[in-house]
A and B are shown apart, each in its own frame.
Chain A
Amino acid sequence: MAVSSRRRPPASDPTPAVPVRSVAIEEHRLPNGLRVVLSSEPGSAVVALGVYYRVGFRLEPKGRTGFAHLFEHLMFQGSRHLGKMAHFQVVHDAGGVLNGYTRYDYTAYFEVLPASALAAACYLEADRMAGLDLTPANLRNQVDVVEEEVRLNVLNQPYGGFSWLFLPQHAFQRFANAHNAYGEFEDLESATVEDASEFFTSHYAPGNATLVVVGGFDPSEALATVTQHFGAIPARPVPPPPATDEPLPTRRRVVRHEDPMAPVPRLGVGYRMATFGSPAHLPLTLAADILTDGRGSRLDERLVRGEGVCLDVTAGPNFPIGDAFDTGDPSLWTLEATRRPEVPTPRVLELIDEELERLGREGPSRPELRRAQRSWLAQHWAQVDSPRGRMDRLGTLTAVHGDPHLLNLIPGQIAAVTEEQVADSVRTWLRPERSTVLDWVPPGPKRRPG
């Protein structure tokens, strides 16, 4: 390591065992196919309720880019028995909050509210799972709103969409994985109510959804409430998953992206990530911390401190909009760095390659691996402490990977990862030829305004 310790660390406990408390999880399936996951926390004053539909960016057909996210907006525009804004009104007036979000493999809708509102929240979610009230005027209104969202987050910001929106467009070839997930404006504007109805019929079937409830309730009463509201929704065919397989890249691609608003260059590097559940998946998750988790991590010490070629560096599976547990195949292990303007991109890449090669060859030291494991565990507890955080983990593990109980299994699996597994995984996966580089640069001198 570049930095030597002047004093023994306060906790140098070398044992790999980490205490793992488990989270209460019950799993049910209604006859119409809806999966129900309950995690009761007696005494809690609130409930978090989420519905995770197995539909995301990857299912958008050509000519309908951005549709999964646009459709998410339409889910708030009225349903069988609820007019536009009624859903918002009920949750707000209950003293709760709600939102929805769309990712590669799922779309989530959730409410967090006082525990006494559980039945009402079930009513709201079941009502829109049973059917929407779509009108051309509401569709047009939400196309406008979504376009403002894209302007806000992408077009009117420096580094807008860096790197999550653009890196996959270059790292993948298949349309399902590589299209503009926010959507081309012409695609958004040509969407029709019929498209939306068809999308709803195909993808919003109860059998394609997971309902998660976390917080203060009695599990058997909650299951009865859930069944009362969702049980009557008729089963519909569940679509097959989209074809998403991609060949592994065989040589590094560097793509230059000029950003007229960016004052400083940045760099996004996407490596193909190992499939969830495969032997390299958790080791690569820990490798991200070993390499970039703050001071004392390998790339921070080398790129930011030692060589001074970058201002910051961060990495992780599906970073920055996802994590190791919420994305199916294929996905990216992404590294983002802010490059010092005077340092050429190839020099930064050379140093990254060197450090990854060294980690793959030597593996992490025992303390390095322990630090990453303990940090991971501490973050795990922080996530499950929050009703919403716990709901989200359970929802994505079930909707994307099929099993809520993974929540209690993964901490033990993280604790069991060895130095050799980290080395092997990094050596196999984090190779230059398997990466795509997004070289994000300020405008050239000629085009600088003023």
Chain B
Amino acid sequence: MTSLPVPTGGDRPPLPADLPAIGPVPDLRLRRPVRTQLEGGTRTTIVAHATVPRLELRLAVPAGSAHASVPGSAELLSHTLLAGTRVRDGATLAQDLQMIGADLHVSQDGDVLVLSGSVLSEHEQELYELVAEVVTGPAFPADELQLERGRIAEQLRMARAAPHFPAQEVARAAVYGPHPYGAATPTESQIRRCGAAAIRSLHRATFGARAAQLTVVGDVDPRRTARRLSRAFAAWDGRRGSWRLPPVHHRPAAGITLVDRPEAVQTVCIVAAGAPPVGHPDHLPLLLATAILGGGGPSRLMLNIRERHGYTYNPFAMTDSHLGDTLLLAGADVRCEVTGPALTEILYELGRLATGEVTAAELEGAQRYLAGTRVIAVQTQAGVAGSLASAALHGQDHRYLETFARRVRAVTARDVRAVAARYLAPRSVHVILVGPAERIAREVAPLGVVTVRRSGARRGRPPG
């Protein structure tokens, strides 16, 4: 196909002279947070944001899977935390929450378990009491544990059948090796074997008031909310829980790992690399590098493999921030027959970022994009709560959010190229492909040493 008149990312398309001017990205300003410590030691941030008559709550504890010694226990804990308390069974808890217009759910990753809640503001106190009841006295009833074991096992079978699941799992194992961040998702048999004792023990070890971080944002009076939280969480104590994890050592790149998925009609192409965590001087340049490479809008990957070549629908580059480091991921899903050319272009774009020029316009566009999307995020109660909770996890507060744009603007094109060369060079990234090995292994062989793995090797059997 002849090449299309598509810009490459450095050269910007000409814009009409009568396009109305656009001002600078506005500063990110939050209402002054009230920061307090509950009696048990929980660091708490409260922000009045009364756009609608409700509020959002985030409670983070170090019960992520990397803190769990028994595989599967963190997953089971997060799935059964709301299955009942000392005084209320799971159905009653769910119904009592609905009656006050509240929603409460649990998410968990390697680092952290987060309880996310919301409620109509007239029932603020009731939500706090229910959350306190959940964190201090979960019942982990035997029948619910048994039910959830079966459900998680089946959900895992369903998830594993999707092509991105092995891609992510292999990428993490490649970058982190034996570190808990590199641990595979628990197998079905690990989930089925995980006993109540392991879950209770993980709860005891991680749900301490001292380590917990609490954020409340919404239609609240912060001083009164602080009092209400103190009252609700008065019985929660304990020094239990530490956010400390073993130091991360990133493993050197080792060619191309090809996960065989014979029935696939697309190849998942991912490049992965490890980088330092939030707060490190390289972090902001890396945010810009991934934005320029594939972070939304007219990124280099978008212009190249989608808008010029039509190889893919979903080119991307992103950072996944952990407490101990940042995982860099980029790639696309491409039809099998263009796997070789598509991977060539992805690696070319990595090389161009590491060795070529980032123009002033391109850098400024990415700086404005990063600043603007954070301003957009804090327009909602949920967005403010999520942004503050995530900053708190990295030891940062509202000032981190408010000064973010200024610090991003201080990054130079030279800084971006330097971090791209350090972390995202073609020779230092792990390449993971998921697709039909028979069709694509030879095609990509010129680009690196190919190791083929069978997909579904650990796929479990149906129950019964």
Query: Which residues on A are within 8 Å of B, measured CB to CB?
Result: 1-3, 5-7, 9-13, 19, 21, 41, 44-46, 81-86, 88-97, 112-117, 119-120, 122-123, 137-138, 140-149, 151-152, 155-159, 215, 260-264, 293-297, 301, 304-305, 308, 311-312, 338, 341-342, 367, 370-372, 374-375, 377-378, 381-382, 384-387, 449
For the complex, what is the distance from the CA of A85 to the CA of B13, rounded to whole Å? 7
Which residues of chain A are near B365, meaning CB under 8 Å? 89, 92-93
Q: When the two chains form their complex, are residues B94 and A46 in contact, meaning their CB atoms are under 8 A apart?
A: no
Which residues of chain A are near B12, meaning CB under 8 Å? 89
Cβ of B78 to closest chain A Cβ, rounded Å: 15
Given A114-B26, A149-B313, A158-B162: A11 and B118 interface contact (C-beta under 8 Å): no
Q: When the two chains form their complex, are residues A117 and B13 in contact, meaning their CB atoms are under 8 A apart?
A: no
Which residues of chain A are near B96, meaning CB under 8 Å? 9-11
B23 at the interface (CB under 8 A from A): yes
B402 at the interface (CB under 8 A from A): no
Residue among A96, A138, A301 facing the most chain B CB atoms (10 A cut-off): A96
B102 at the interface (CB under 8 A from A): yes
Which residues of chain A are near B7, meaning CB under 8 Å? 85, 89
Q: When the two chains form their complex, are residues B6 and A85 in contact, meaning their CB atoms are under 8 A apart?
A: yes
For the complex, what is the distance from the CA of A272 to the CA of B61, rounded to whole Å? 45
Cβ of B257 to closest chain A Cβ, rounded Å: 19
For the complex, what is the distance from the CA of A41 to the CA of B379, rounded to whole Å? 11
State which size class the interface on B falls in: 35 or more
B256 at the interface (CB under 8 A from A): no
Chain A residue nearest to B370 (CB atoms) is: A95
B262 at the interface (CB under 8 A from A): yes
**Which among B122, B123, B130, B306 is the interface contact of A145 at CB below 8 angstroms?**
B306
**Which among B99, B103, B155, B383 is the interface contact of A11 at CB below 8 angstroms?**
B99
**Which among B14, B100, B303, B463 is the interface contact of A374 at CB below 8 angstroms?**
B100
Given A9-B96, A145-B313: A45 and B379 interface contact (C-beta under 8 Å): yes
Interface string of B94-123 (1 = CB under 8 A from A): 111011111100000000000000111011
Q: When the two chains form their complex, are residues A11 and B123 in contact, meaning their CB atoms are under 8 A apart?
A: yes
Given A21-B52, A311-B150, A311-B151: A378 and B19 interface contact (C-beta under 8 Å): no
Which residues of chain A are near B1, meaning CB under 8 Å? 137, 140
Which residues of chain B are near A370, meaning CB under 8 Å? 99
Given A97-B296, A156-B266: A385 and B100 interface contact (C-beta under 8 Å): no
Q: When the two chains form their complex, are residues B162 and A86 in contact, meaning their CB atoms are under 8 A apart?
A: no
Tally of A-B Cβ pairs under 8 angstroms: 293
Residue among B87, B92, B129, B333 facing the most chain A CB atoms (10 A cut-off): B92
B446 at the interface (CB under 8 A from A): no
B173 at the interface (CB under 8 A from A): no
Given A83-B5, A89-B365: A141 and B373 interface contact (C-beta under 8 Å): no
Interface string of B291-316 (1 = CB under 8 A from A): 00000111000110011101111100
**Which among B15, B26, B82, B312 is the interface contact of A115 at CB below 8 angstroms?**
B26
Cβ of A156 to closest chain B Cβ, rounded Å: 4
Which residues of chain B are near A85, meaning CB under 8 Å? 6-7, 13, 298, 303, 307
Cβ of A227 to closest chain B Cβ, rounded Å: 14
Q: When the two chains form their complex, are residues B100 and A157 in contact, meaning their CB atoms are under 8 A apart?
A: no
Given A120-B20, A158-B158, A378-B102: A114 and B375 interface contact (C-beta under 8 Å): yes
Chain A residue nearest to B367 (CB atoms) is: A95
Q: When the two chains form their complex, are residues A375 and B101 in contact, meaning their CB atoms are under 8 A apart?
A: yes
Which residues of chain A are near B15, meaning CB under 8 Å? 82, 86, 89-90
Q: When the two chains form their complex, are residues B92 and A9 in contact, meaning their CB atoms are under 8 A apart?
A: yes
Which residues of chain A are near B18, meaning CB under 8 Å? 81, 123
B401 at the interface (CB under 8 A from A): no
Q: When the two chains form their complex, are residues A296 and B26 in contact, meaning their CB atoms are under 8 A apart?
A: no
For the complex, what is the distance from the CA of A86 to the CA of B16, rounded to whole Å? 10
Q: Which 5 A-B pairs have the closest CB atoms?
A: A95-B372, A92-B297, A144-B310, A116-B23, A295-B94
Chain A residue nearest to B103 (CB atoms) is: A378
Q: When the two chains form their complex, are residues A342 and B333 in contact, meaning their CB atoms are under 8 A apart?
A: no
Given A92-B296, A157-B163, A375-B101: A6 and B92 interface contact (C-beta under 8 Å): yes
Known: A120-B20, A301-B91. 5 other contacts (CB 8 A): A88-B297, A146-B313, A148-B335, A264-B462, A386-B383
Q: When the two chains form their complex, are residues A21 and B53 in contact, meaning their CB atoms are under 8 A apart?
A: yes
For the complex, what is the distance from the CA of A369 to the CA of B233, rounded to whole Å? 31
Q: When the two chains form their complex, are residues A114 and B4 in contact, meaning their CB atoms are under 8 A apart?
A: no
Interface string of B50-61 (1 = CB under 8 A from A): 011110000000
The B49-103 residues at the A interface (CB cut-off 8 A) are 51-54, 82, 87-96, 98-103
